[in-house]
Amino acid sequence: MKVLIITGIFPPDIGGPATYVPQIARALVDRRHHVTVLTLSDRRDEDTGRYPYRLVRLPRQRFKPWRWLSTVAKIIRLGLQSDVLFVNGLAMEASLANLILRKPVVQKVVGDLAWERATSRGWSTDGFESFQKRRHDIKVETMKSLRRWWVRKADMVIVPSGYLAHWVTQWGVPEGKIAVIHNAVEAPNGIHPAEVPVQAPVRLVTVGRLIPLKCIDKLVELIAYLDGVGLVIIGDGSERQRLEALALALGVRDRVHFAGQKRQEEALAIMAVCDLLVLNSTHEGFPHVILEAMTLGLPVVATAVGGIPEILRHGENGRLIPPLDDRALLDAILSLVSSRSERERLSRGAKLTAETFSFQRMVDMTEPVLCRSIGLRGGR
């Protein structure tokens, strides 16, 4: 196949697609497919020779109408030479371009862009599920309609969890067009544990954007009740200044370290010196960081939301707790902080779980979906 992979971010950018796209592109090349990756970027060069596939970077321009037009035009030019479009971002632009190209499209959906944009712009305060069910004002309903349109235009849709597959069907996508392919993680090689300025017998780590739905403020507050426990926060976002002020006000600033945004290998190096991963979110799709923690042998405490229960099995490889339950969060952490043997038991379970989410298995499931999309389009 000649595959055009379309993404909004790519290294040195940080984020899920920036990790996934280079890996899946290389794997497809290894299977003798021809791959081109198109991405937005702050860089100008095309990294000639650095990757085993063609990488085309388009400048991120602030004037959006011009950026949209230039992106659509580039997708058309590259798409004319491709058998299938594999959309991992820029879904609107790819769908507009495909009105002309009429090529098979496989779209990977890892969340609801309409919800993310509506909440970030202050247009909605709904959680993920209530956002799907409620009617909103014209701005938000227009965004939801556009999201339904571009997802339904795809020949096949890949989602990382059964949870998200359910909601994609609510957008009008037939179940037969949806493939649930869990994220995967490759066992890290040569991880050199990082130096972390938190002197505590037990270190907790949390990873993600510093935004309200991650409820990281509750973790900072718990540190005040947990003697001998430190917290490392990897990520950045709108909540960082407030969280730093909270740690200072509670007198735990010396036990709470804000590591900032890190590349994958840097984040793994920090996680490797910690004892427990904690995710206290009110919503998650299928958090890749849980798999990364499990490959390192970190037991996990996480809320039973979204696709997390598809990875985390209570008492086997970690602890599941209800969202927004501070008491359950404290009890789960206390039980593991106070018992090294229990952490070690869950660590063994975590490593066994990680082995079942192999990268090879993910590629084995993704390749036929791309091939199938070509067959579906050819049969129309």
Q: Over the stretch 343-357, which tens digit does the pLDDT of each residue have?
A: 999 999 999 998 888
Give the phi and the psi of residue 41 in degrees, each rounded to 5: -160, 155
pLDDT at 313 over 50: yes
Greatest CA separation for the chain? 66
pTM for the whole structure: 0.88
Q: For residue 59, with 0-12 CB atoms within 10 Å meaning exposed, 13-18 middle and 19 or more buried, which class applies?
A: exposed
Residues near 209 by Cβ (< 8 Å), separated by ≥ 6? 235, 236, 237
- Percentage of the residues of the chain whose pLDDT score is greater than 70: 96
- pLDDT for 334 equals 94
Q: Point out the least confidently predicted range of 155-164, 199-208, 335-344, 368-377.
A: 368-377
Q: Which residue has the tokens 């339950």?
A: 325
Name every residue whose Cβ is closer than 8 Å to that of residue 190 and which is 6 or more positions away in sequence. none
* The predicted structure's pLDDT at residue 216: 96
Determine phi and psi for 43, rounding to 5 degrees.
-95, 160
Residue 240: both structure tokens together? 């960082």
Q: Determine the length of the chain.
A: 380
Look over the chain and give the mean of its residue pLDDT values, rounded to a whole number. Answer: 91
> Is the predicted pLDDT of residue 219 greater than 90, yes or no?
yes
Percent of the chain predicted with pLDDT > 90: 76
Considering only residues 195 and 176, tell me which one the structure prediction assigns the higher pLDDT.
176
Axis crossing angle, helix 326-337 with helix 216-223, rounded to the nearest 10: 50
* Dist. CA 97–CA 216, nearest whole Å: 40
> In this predicted structure, what is the pLDDT of residue 45?
62
pLDDT, mean of residues 167-174:
96
pLDDT, tens only, 52-88: 999 999 988 765 677 788 899 999 999 999 999 999 9
- Is the model's pLDDT at 223 over the cut of 90? yes
The pLDDT value recorded for residue 195 is 84
- pLDDT for the residue 62: 61
> Binning pLDDT at 50, 70 and 90, where does residue 378 land?
low
How sure is the predictor about 14, in pLDDT bands with cuts at 50, 70 and 90?
confident
In order of their start, the domains of the chain are 2-184+359-378 (3.40.50.2000), 202-356 (3.40.50.2000)
pLDDT for the residue numbered 303: 97
User: E strand or H helix at 377, and its extent?
Assistant: helix 359-378
Strand blocks (E) in the chain = 2-7, 34-41, 54-59, 84-87, 105-108, 156-159, 178-180, 202-207, 229-234, 256-260, 276-279, 300-303, 318-321
Report the pLDDT averaged over residues 162-177.
96
Q: Which residues touch 18 (CB under 8 Å, ≥6 apart)?
A: 7, 9, 10, 11
Helix (H) or strand (E) holding 184: none
Query: Residue 379's pLDDT is what?
Result: 42
Q: What is the DSSP letter of 145?
A: H
Residue type, 134: R
Q: Give CA angle at 325 (200, 271), nearest 5°.
A: 35
Q: Which residues contact 99 (CB under 8 A, 6 or more apart)?
A: none
Residue 287 in contact with residue 16, Cβ under 8 Å?
no
State the Cα–Cα distance between residues 258 and 314, nearest whole angstrom. 29
